[in-house]
Chains A and B, each alone.
Chain A
Amino acid sequence: MSSCRCIADNVTPFEYNTYIHKIQNLKQKIIDVQNLLETPPFIILHGVQTIKSNFMRLDWKEHIFYILNKCKINPTWILDIINETNVNNPNQVKIQFATPYVKIIVSQTINEFITKNLLHNMHIDM
């Protein structure tokens, strides 16, 4: 009992609030990690079909693979490619990756490709 009193005597309101903040931080971290588990890391590529290729009859998926091939990106890093084109956002494609690290590498490479080839109509959303 005496040791308990010691703890209680030593606890200040500041420490009490620290406990509350720590719990809130942990809960937020859990929510963030749960969100990470729900959806794989992805980027959204806009203006895919504005790119001029040597093969004029490419569909949207072939366009993506054409770009990935040009950027020398390993296709096995990619989990899925989803066409998210709608009325407001034409030529919008979501690319899902196996790991967050791969996402960073691929987005850097594609950004370099866009800059190098002056593809002003194309851009990436993270």
Chain B
Amino acid sequence: MPYSTNCVNKEFTQKIATNENTNKQHTPLDNNLLIQHINCFEHQICQLQTQLDYLESLILKPQIIKIISFCDIKLKYNVITYKDQLDSLFFEADIPLYWIIDSRLNKHKNDATTKSHCKLICEQSDIVYVTLLNHHVKRKTIEMLKLFFDTKYDNKIYIS
């Protein structure tokens, strides 16, 4: 992401340095300019700190992937719970089970008032949220799952 460095005015910095050397007092014009610069600096520092916090959270915190149309996955083994199915999926895709920290199924309930086409979408869209160790593990898992789904399911299952 490009950063705005317009507010870092080199001429002004030099002017301040000159003032320091000659022990001159700041004029009101200089003061106003200085206030603008300080505000701009603090705003920029705040923005950069927010961005850094976000990036650090990506590295340090566990990451979640979403598998859409999870019920469409047909595996070799007959499984009852979604957790067993998830374990089987990772086993078949050669992904270590230790990379999973937690998982959660978000099954849409069929609502009688929902329109027919919506019902169809809801029935098909069982979503599983899988919490993985970290960002790198997430990237590798997505890569391996995509490869597995592309070869076996012809892009019927989506990961995000």
Interfacial residues, chain A to chain B (CB-CB below 8 A) = 4-5, 7-9, 11-13, 16-17, 19-20, 22-23, 26-27, 29-30, 33-34, 36-37, 40-41, 74-76, 79-80, 96, 98-99
Interface of chain A: mostly helix, strand, loop or mixed: helix
Q: A16-B34, A33-B55, A98-B99 are in contact. List 4 more A-B contacts (CB 8 A).
A: A37-B135, A76-B98, A98-B137, A99-B134
State how many angstroms separate the Cβ of B157 from the closest Cβ of chain A.
23
B residues with a Cβ closer than 8 A to A are 3, 8, 13, 16-17, 19-20, 26, 31-32, 34-35, 37-38, 41-42, 44-45, 48-49, 51-52, 55-56, 58-59, 96, 98-99, 133-137, 139-140
In the complex, A11→B44 CA distance in Å?
18
Using A40-B136, A79-B136, A79-B140 as known contacts, say yes or no to A13 and B35 having CB atoms under 8 A apart.
no
> A34 CA to B135 CA in the complex, in Å?
12
Asked if B55 contacts A37 (CB within 8 A), the reply is: yes
User: Do A20 and B51 touch across chains, with their CB atoms under 8 A apart?
Assistant: no
Q: By the criterion CB–CB under 8 Å, are A26 and B31 in contact?
A: no
13 A-B contacts (beta carbon < 8 Å):
A8-B38, A9-B31, A16-B16, A19-B45, A20-B13, A26-B52, A34-B55, A40-B136, A74-B98, A80-B140, A96-B136, A98-B137, A99-B134
From B19, B31, B35, B48, contact of A30 by CB (8 A): B48
User: Given A16-B13, A26-B49, A98-B136, A7 and B19 touching (CB < 8 A)?
Assistant: no
B-side contacts of A9, CB under 8 Å? 26, 31
**Cα separation A33 to B17 with both chains bound (whole Å):** 33
- With A8-B31, A36-B59, A37-B59 in contact, is A22–B45 under 8 Å at CB? yes
